[in-house]
Amino acid sequence: MARPGITYTDVEKACNKIIADGGRPSINGVKAMLGSGSPNNISALLKKWRAANQPEKKSDRVLPDSVILSITNEIERCVVEEKASLEQSLATLQTDQERLIQHCNDLDESIQEDQKKFTKAHTELQAAVASSQEKDKLIELLRAEIGEEKCKTENQRMIAETRHIDLAKTTTRLEALEQQSAELPKLTKACTDAEKKAEASSAREIATKEAFSRLETEIGSLSEKLIKHDSEVKELQTALSESKEESSRLQVENAVMKERLIQKAEKSNLSNGQQ
C-alpha cells in the first residue's frame, strides 16, 4: 500500500517532468523529484506508470524468476537494513537528545544553585560592607571622644599645675610671715631692755621715752601687720585647703576618666574580636 500523500498522480507528474528534462524515470529519480517516499511504494507506482505509458516489448530475453526473486529479496534486505539503520540512528539521536536534555536540566540546576550562592554571597558582602562602615563610624566617634577626653585631661592637668604653683607661692608667703612673727619676741625684749636702761639713767630718760615711743609705734605697726598677716594666713590656709580639695577632686576625675577610656577601649576591642 502506498504511503498516504504519495499517489500515482504524483509519480506520473514526476516521471513526465523527468522525461521533459531529458532524463529517464527511475526510483531514485522520482524520489529525488518528490523529495520523499518509500522505494517500494515508488517502485510499485512506477511500474504502473510504465505499464500505462510504454508499449509492451517482446524480448527474447526473460529474467528467470529466481533472479527476479533474488533482486526483490536484495531490495527488501537493503530496505530492511536501511530501516534498521535509520531506526538505530533515531534511537541514538533520541538517547543523545535525552542525555542533552538531562545535561541541560543539570546545567539549569547548577546555574540556579550558583545564582543562589551568588545572591547569598552578594548579600553577605553588602552586610559586611555595611558592618565595616558602621565600625569605621564607631572608631571615628571613639577617636573623637578620646581626643576630647585627652584635651579635657590636659586642661585639668594644666589647672592642677597652676594650683600647685599658687599653693607653693602661698606656702612661701606663710613661711615669710612666720619668720616675721618669730622676730616679735626680740622686739619685745628690746623694749624691756630699753625700759630698764631708762630707769637706771635719768639722763637718758627722754631718749629712752622717745625710743620707747618709737618702739611702741613699731610694735603697733608690727601688731597691725601681724593681724593682717594672721588674716592673710587664714585666707591662705583656706585657699590651700580649697586647693587641696580641688586637687583631690581633679585626681578623682582624672582616675574616673582614665577608667572610662579603658572601658571604652576594652569594649571596642571586644566588639572587634566578636565580629
Model pLDDT, residue 82: 82
Work out the pLDDT band at 208, boundaries 50, 70, 90. low
Q: Determine the Cα angle at 115 with ends 112 and 121, to 5°.
A: 145
Number of helices followed by number of strands (H, E) in the chain: 6, 0
Model pLDDT, residue 106: 83
| 0.85 surpassed by pTM | no
The arithmetic mean of pLDDT across residues 53-64, rounded, is 59
The arithmetic mean of pLDDT across residues 1-30, rounded, is 82
Cell 620707747 found at: 212
Quote the CA–CA distance of 267 and 275 in Å, as a whole number: 12
**CATH 1.10.287.1700 domain residues, the chain:** 141-274
Residue 36 or 200, more confident? 36
Quote the CA–CA distance of 65 and 257 in Å, as a whole number: 124
Cα 56 to Cα 12, 53, 59, distances in angstroms? 18, 9, 9
Work out the pLDDT band at 2, boundaries 50, 70, 90. very low
Residue (of 247, 243, 58) closest to 166 by Cα position: 243
Model pLDDT, residue 203: 67
Question: Which of 84-93, 99-108, 214-223, 250-259 reaches the highest mean pLDDT?
Answer: 250-259
Quote the CA–CA distance of 47 and 53 in Å, as a whole number: 10
Torsion angles phi and psi, residue 218, rounded to 5: -65, -40
Residue 16 or 55, more confident? 16
| pLDDT, tens only, 233-274 | 888 889 888 888 888 899 999 899 888 899 888 888 888 877
Residue 176 or 271, more confident? 271
pLDDT at residue 52 is higher than 70? yes
Quote the CA–CA distance of 68 and 61 in Å, as a whole number: 13
Torsion of CA 242, 247, 253, 254, to 10 degrees: 170
Quote the CA–CA distance of 249 and 178 in Å, as a whole number: 30
> Topology of 141-274 in CATH?
Helix Hairpins (1.10.287)
Rounded percentage of the chain residues whose pLDDT exceeds 90: 2
Q: What is the DSSP letter of 54?
A: S
